[in-house]
Structure 1
Amino acid sequence: MSADAPDDRQPASLETTAHSRADGEDLILAALDHLRGIRPTDGGVSGSPSLTRQKEGLREWAGNLGLLLDAALVIPRFQRGGQEHDFYRDGQRIIKMTRDGIFGLSPGIDLALVSSDMDARRFHLWEASPMEYLERLHLQNELVPALNRLEGVVIQGNDMAIVSSQPRFELKPVSQTEIDDWFAAHGFEKVTRCGYYRAEDNLGVFDAHTKNLVRFENTLIPCRPGGGFLQFIADTLAAGHHVKEVRTVSTSPRGS
């Protein structure tokens, strides 16, 4: 079916799409590439599409591939998880669904919050867009191959949720010192209390604290910094400073 074909398929259950798909990891990149190809609403050729356009594009893409899940069948199976996801256990996998129309967090800076006489630098963890969330899953797979699979998309009223899965892991708590040592051994420099950056492949990982990590990666926030954010990190490392995370989760997502 072409990308322009109408979405006339009925929503599916997880079993009919399915969490056993071997291509679930590839689907993350396919969905991400589709969203990257959407032009911004102002008609420009660069920049990210608006939140509304991303949701429309992801719904169309999922519908064309039979990945729209039936909310009435899927949602009752989930139980309340952490800050970002609801979840349920299915065999050897954990099925996760984004909650409340929010797609996790994405790091970035707000220059208006940095005064000219402050040495202590700050950045924000903003509400992420679908594209940023999918990029996060993709980058997590680069850190830990085959970690995430895309299972489908759920539409309920005006809200959209992304459903993914991970293997089940034995929970073994780690200390922040052990986390620091792991990142240092893999070539990362520490830029915040729980954030790390590797210049070799321009990879940043944030929110890597003891509540998010066990002996295997779980809900880190990886990204590939660019523009002012990349320069901000470079300047911070050059000055030998650490910055402080500020969570911004009560405002509208950027680019909405």
Structure 2
Amino acid sequence: MQHESGAICSPNASSTLEVALEDARGGTEAILRGGGLFATTRLAAEIESLRRWSERSGGGRDFEELRRPPDAFGFEHEVWFPKVSVERPRVLKATYDNSFGVMADGSEATPIKYLERLLLQNQVFGDDIELEGVVEPSFALIRIITSQQAIQGRPAELEEIEVFFSQRDFKRCFWRGRNIWFRNADRIICADTHGGNILVTQDGEMAAIDVPAMLAPDDFSFPPP
């Protein structure tokens, strides 16, 4: 069961993500079959495949924000807040060089897994994360650029987070050394569900702005052994 989040949801946010994801998957396999420099590892093939997609699609353009220091940063991204007043301001995020964060199971994400994670965040939480493009700071290094609606609010309290996930049919459990939430209907796992990733807006809505989500592996059972 998926739950919408009203004005926070953008129905077209997944389209570019989906196109890039499918292209990167196919491109990666083609690079691995063809051999050469970028076929030495799957990670190298994924990085090059996504870079090629961005180059073909015009997503490798210059991003003005990246020419100034970020307004904030975290473990996975540098962040730039909008500097002009617009009706629907958006935050720009850039991954670090060839570093794509972590998955809900604690493993390091590859470019494809990172895009899969973002797509699930849109589908599960009604987020409006959009893939803006890819920049190449130097040869064989990329940063994935995304944006999402700028949401003003405060970090959610533990009790509010409990309600947020329980109302969406998730169950809490402990798996691979991490506290996670699991939903059996679509076998979604979510992690890092702290107040830094879930905000309570000025209107009292709750928004999961950066909660890693993934499909449970085939051997996952609830509750975990």
Q: Tell me which interval the TM-score lies in, with the shorter structure as reference length.
A: 0.7 to 0.9
Does 2:190 align with 1:208? no
Tell me the equivalent position of 2:53: 61
**Structure number with bigger Rg:** 1
Indicate yes or no: 2:131 matched with 1:150. Answer: yes
Question: Which one of 76, 84, 95 corresponds to residue 84 of structure 1?
Answer: 76
CA RMSD in angstroms, aligned pairs only: 2.3
* 1:167 and 2:152 matched: no
Name the CA shift for 1:78/1:181 in 2 (closer, same or farther; >3 Å): same
Structure 1 counterpart of 2:183, which letter? Answer: R
Q: State the Cα distance separating 1:65 from its structure 2 match.
A: 0.8
Instruction: Note the C-alpha offset of 1:77.
Output: 3.2
AA at the equivalent of 2:80:
Y
Question: Where does residue 181 of structure 1 map in the other structure?
Answer: 163
Distance in 1 of aligned mates of 2:160 and 2:179: 12
Q: Give the match's secondary structure for 1:172.
A: strand
Q: For residue 183 of structure 2, what is the aligned residue in structure 1? A: 198
Shift of 1:42: 6.2
The whole-number CA distance in structure 2 between the counterparts of 1:153 and 1:106 is 20
The TM-score normalised by the length of structure 1 is 0.68
Letter in structure 2 aligned against 1:223: M
Say if 1:155 and 1:238 are closer, same or farther in 2 by CA, change over 3 A.
closer
Task: Give the equivalent residue in structure 2 for 1:6.
Answer: none
1:224 equivalent in structure 2: 215
Alpha-carbon offset, residue 173 of structure 1: 2.1
| Aligned length in residues | 191
Q: Distance in 1 between matches of 2:146 and 2:109?
A: 16
Alignment partner of 1:107 is 2:104: yes
Gap change, CA 1:41 and 1:63, over 3 Å in 2 = closer
Shift of 1:180: 1.6
Report the equivalent of 1:19. Answer: none
Q: TM-score when scaled to structure 2? A: 0.76
Match of 2:23 among 34, 59, 67: 34
Q: Deviations over 1:53-86 (max 9, x none)?
A: 1011111111111111337x55223514111111
Shift of 1:238: 5.9
Structure 1: runs of 5+ lacking an equivalent:
1-21, 44-48, 109-124, 240-256
Whichever residue aligns with residue 24 of structure 2, its letter is: L
Relative to structure 1, the CA distance from residue 107 to residue 217 in structure 2 (aligned partners, 3 Å threshold; closer, same or farther) is closer
